[in-house]
Amino acid sequence: MSEGWTQRKPTALLVLADGTVIEGEGIGATGEALGEVCFNTALTGYQEILTDPSYARQIVTFTFPHIGNVGANAEDIEDLAPDNAVGAVGAIFRAAVSAPSNYRSAQGLDTWLKARGVVAMSGVDTRALTAMIREKGMPNAVIAHSPDGVFDVPALIAKAREWSGLVGLDLARDAASNHAEVWNEGPWAWNAGYAPKADAAYTIVAIDYGAKRNILRLMSGHGAQVVILPATASADEVLAHKPDGIFLSNGPGDPAATAHYAAPTIRSLAQTGIPIFGICLGHQLLALALGARTEKMHQGHHGANHPVKDFTTGKVEIVSMNHGFAVDRESLPADVEETHISLFDGTNCGIRLRDRPVFSVQHHPEASPGPQDSHYLFQRFFQLIDDHRRKAA
């Protein structure tokens, strides 16, 4: 050791429920955050990932080493209410966050994380942490950031161990809008920002369990007036808007817990013959409403490079995914057809009713971030609406 060299104290810790303590450099908000640790393999879109409401009560480990290079801006936020930020509670990076270098950057990632209250750390061997999650599953943990490097490690371990985790936890109520509103943005265009809402040819009611903005933008881009209703909306409240189609959004938490109030509504709506489209949590809730079961996954699917096969077209798509629960494909009732599966592990990624215009997918066809291979699913939804209109005429 050279003369005058002193070891620097870590300013952040990731403390797992099994007692493992991982040290790093703290960035973002100071304090502690309790959640489930997962890993995301996307190469881009860290801001969209961290603001996806489906990540509520989760700590995201980024496998791509350089995060923060393009900074942050107001356009790339995905949750509907930035003032009441819903998304990941923590973030873990390999390399130190550098100064942003992108013409769209409005502020550095560290400043943005502080403003959102996200506790983060860098200097972590994220490859080793990812390998551990793949072997042992997604652990409960506390991520803590203290600039003076002082931590009560036994207390942090106890907190991680005492948390019951995501199983049985309904997070959709907190992630969702608490009142009805009409969406007013269309899709984003390069150097032009988000288009204003187009003239409405359809009325879509979106039941919000923690919706992403880009889903609503794409539906608006297809000529829809999108009416957003809270997760607890009843079937009568949905039908009062005379929808041409009904959308079941993505969202966080255990679908079986949210289904206690959501499934009866969805079951009633599925009987109306009005086209229904679900994504992510909406997919799981539809499956539960139709009589299937869901299960907790070992490591989940989180990334923008997942291969999924659509049996209705025979094509393989590369898609975005973000889920830690899955529909048990063996539990699907006879009147439900499996339409998509993951080519990573064979888990269910899509269903449709055989006798009604009702379908859903586990992955995120709106991307943001990710490939746009599955944008056709929005066209499929509006085609079902057109077909339903013709039959009703």
Among candidate residues 379, 343, 380, 350, the one with its CA nearest the CA of residue 364: 350
Catalytic residue at 364? Answer: yes
Query: Of the residues 145, 306, 340, 364, which is catalytic?
Result: 364
DSSP state of 211: -
Which of helix, strand or coil describes residue 34? strand
Question: From the centroid of its chain, how far is CA 267?
Answer: 23
Catalytic residue at 78? Answer: no
C-alpha span between 74 and 84 (Å, rounded): 14
C-alpha span between 128 and 15 (Å, rounded): 15
Neighbouring C-alpha atoms within 13 Å toward the C-beta of 161? 9
Among candidate residues 123, 130, 129, 165, the one with its CA nearest the CA of residue 145: 123
Query: Of the residues 32, 38, 280, 317, which is catalytic?
Result: 280
C-alpha span between 343 and 359 (Å, rounded): 20
For residue 267, the one-letter residue type is: R
Return the structure tokens found at 183: 């969406």
C-alpha span between 205 and 266 (Å, rounded): 12
Catalytic residue at 280? Answer: yes
Among candidate residues 133, 180, 100, the one with its CA nearest the CA of residue 16: 133
Which active-site residues does the annotation give?
A: 280, 364, 366
